């Protein structure tokens, strides 16, 4: 099954960037689970701690073979949902 990996990493040190600290994380993973369920798409949301692009977070990855998607915020998912739909087509 295709996967949408959502970085849920958080760091105790506020001076180090993390996807949760930048507004993503678990909140973002849950928003995608809701949107994907509502759309009926066949893609699994997977949580992961750090995709190695912390300065560009919140970060997602579509797999297999899909792109990283950067700076995705829970309140503004339209563009990312379009990217997911294209990836699934």
Binding site for ligand FES (CB under 6 A): 7, 9, 18-19, 50-54, 57, 59
Reading the block at residue 20, the tokens are 């949760």
Q: How far is the CB of 11 from ligand FES (least distance, A)?
A: 7
Residue 45: other Cβ atoms inside 10 A: 19
Torsion sign over Cα 40, 43, 46, 50: negative
Closer by beta carbon to ligand FES, 53 or else 73: 53
Closer by beta carbon to ligand FES, 51 or else 84: 51
Closer by beta carbon to ligand FES, 7 or else 36: 7
Q: In what order do the strands lie in the sheet with 60-63?
A: 43-48, 2-7, 60-63, 68-69
Q: Please report where in the chains the tokens 């997602």 appear, as a residue.
A: 60
Q: How far is the CB of 70 from ligand FES (least distance, A)?
A: 9
Q: How far is the CB of 80 from ligand FES (least distance, A)?
A: 15
């Amino acid at each position: 099954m295709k996967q949408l990996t959502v970085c849920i990493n958080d760091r105790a040190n506020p001076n180090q960037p993390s996807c949760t600290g930048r507004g993503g994380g678990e909140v973002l993973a849950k928003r995608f689970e809701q949107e994907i369920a509502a759309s009926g798409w066949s893609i699994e949301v997977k949580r992961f701690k750090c995709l190695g692009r912390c300065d560009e977070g919140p970060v997602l990855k579509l797999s297999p073979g899909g792109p990283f998607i950067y700076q995705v915020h829970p309140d503004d998912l339209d563009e990312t949902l379009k990217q997911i739909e294209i990836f699934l087509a």
